[in-house]
Structure formats: C-alpha cells, structure tokens
Amino acid sequence: MTDEVRSDELPTTPMDPALLANRDGKIDVAMISLCGCWGCTLSFLDMDERILPLLTKVTIHRSSLTDIKRITQRCALGFIEGGVANEDNIETLRHFRDKCDVLISVGACAVWGGVPAMRNVFELKDCLSEAYVNSPTAVPGAEPIIPSHPDIPRLTTKVHPCHEVVKMDYFIPGCPPSADAIVAVLDDLIHGRPVALPRSLIHYD
Ligand code: SF4
C-alpha cells in the first residue's frame, strides 16, 4: 500500500449485528460505486420485488437507487461497489467510513481491485499513453492530449481494494455477486443475525 491511500484512523471492530436489529425504527443504508462498472449495482436492482419487504426495515440514503449525492446523516450500513483508483474515490470511501457503522465490500473490484486493478502491472504513465497517445482511436494528425484539469480527480498510482484505504467489515465476492447473495447479507444484518453467506451463493467469477 502506498502513502497516498494510507489511513491511520482505522476503526477497530465491526459493529455487533445484533445492535442493528435492536435499533428503534428503520435502519439507514447507503451505497456507492467507486471504480467499477456498475454491474454490482445492477445486482442490487436484481433484488426486484424482494426489495419491497426490506423497505419496511431500511431507509436508503445515498445510492444509485435514490440519486442522493451525499450522506447527510449517520447510516448503519454502507455498501461499496468498486475499488479505489483516484483521489475522489479515497475521499468518498473515507466519508462512508466516517458516516457508516458497518461497511461492506460488494464485488471483486471492492474486494481485491478486480478488472480496474489489471493496470497495476503497468506504470500509470504507460497506461495514460496507451489510452490517449497511442490509442488506435486517436485522431490522425491531431495533437495527443492526456486530460488534466483541476476538476478531474487525480488517478492513484495503483488501483486499491477498499480495505487498503479504510477498515471494511464484510466482503461479498463475485463479479458481480448475485442479488441472492446481497439479499442474504442484508437480511442477516438487519435482523441482527451473524452474517452467514451460504456457500452456494459464494463465487469468485
Ligand atoms: S466486481 Fe465485476 S460487476 Fe462488480 S463493479 Fe467490478 S467489474 Fe463490475
């Protein structure tokens, strides 16, 4: 891990799931995509009608389902899709860590870097050259430009799994994990049971 993503303020232990179920009222949940393809987010949507009974138990805050851009209050659960590939991802993930009691890595990119981490075997400058200078889609005769602007988040040297930036409490592997796997973990957490993802729902592809 490089200093660019190092966190010296890692939380200590995961929140006891039983505490979640003992809360008064609904459980506040947030979710975000960092450097991923939104495929894991589609698995959330694949919950289909199963999300309806869950909505009596949870309130969804920042998420791709609600289009809320910022967590404005403390949440019990935070689901993270995608790894960390730029400075904006770092800031967003640290904000989730600050605001959520329990963080869950969803999918290969969040768990170990996934497809975006394939660039880790190359130098970042070589990746940028391949994308913007030597690309077969570069306009012939045009001056190649590697995008750079204060509004464009600076890429990290390497792509990192979330747990290299902040403490993560649970991990759901898969590319993407199935909706069944996400439902199983969410259901355990909101009912205060220890998370016990059935082996049949665990896959790594
Ligand atoms: S784990 Fe797979 S499906 Fe999920 S964001 Fe990464 S590439 Fe997409």
| CB contact at 8 A, 64 and 38 | yes
- Indicate the top mutation candidate among 34, 37, 159 to test ligand 1's pocket, ranked by most ligand atoms within 8 A of CB: 37
The kind and range of the H/E element at 96 are helix 87-99
Nearest to 194 by CA among 51, 12, 21: 21
Confidence at residue 4, expressed as pLDDT on a 0 to 100 scale:
64
Looking at per-residue pLDDT, the higher value among 83 and 59 belongs to 83
- So what's the pLDDT on residue 11? 42
Residue 19 pLDDT level (bands cut at 50, 70, 90): low
Query: Which pLDDT band, with edges at 50, 70 and 90, does 81 fall under?
Result: very high
Phi-psi region of 176 (alpha: psi -120 to 50; beta: other; left: phi over 0): beta
Ligand 1 pocket test target in 31, 45, 46, 115 with most atoms within 8 Å of CB: 115
Q: What is the pLDDT of residue 101?
A: 95
Report whether pLDDT(87) > 80: yes
Q: What is the pLDDT of residue 9?
A: 44
For residue 42, give Cα distances in angstroms to 95, 118, 147, 176. Answer: 23, 22, 29, 9
Question: Are 80 and 66 spatial neighbours (Cβ–Cβ below 8 Å)?
Answer: no
Mean pLDDT, residues 23-42 taken together: 90
Q: What is the mean pLDDT of residues 131-139?
A: 86
Q: Burial of 125 by CB count in 10 Å (0-12 exposed, 13-18 middle, 19+ buried)?
A: exposed
Check pLDDT > 80 for residue 2.
no
Q: Which atom of ligand 1 is nearest to the CA of 111?
A: 1
Domains plus CATH for the chain?
A: 3-118+157-201 (3.40.50.700)
User: How far is Cα 177 from Cα 59, in angstroms, rounded to an integer?
Assistant: 22
Give residue 149's identity as a one-letter amino acid code. H
- Dist CA 85 CA 121 (whole Å): 14
Q: Which of 114, 134, 101, 119 is nearest to 177 (CA)?
A: 114
Give the Å distances, CA to CA, from 105 to 78, 111, 119, 161.
Answer: 9, 6, 20, 9
- Please state the atom number of ligand 1 nearest to the C-alpha of residue 82: 5
Query: pLDDT tens across 104-119, in order?
Result: 999 999 999 999 999 9
Q: Which range is most confident: 67-71, 73-77, 160-164? A: 160-164
For residue 67, pLDDT beyond 80: no
Q: Which of 35, 79, 109, 159 to mutate to test the pocket of ligand 1 (most atoms within 8 A of CB)?
A: 109
Predicted pLDDT at 174: 97
Sort strands 58-60 and 84-86 into parallel, antiparallel or unpaired.
unpaired
Distance (Å, whole) CA 60 – CA 1: 32
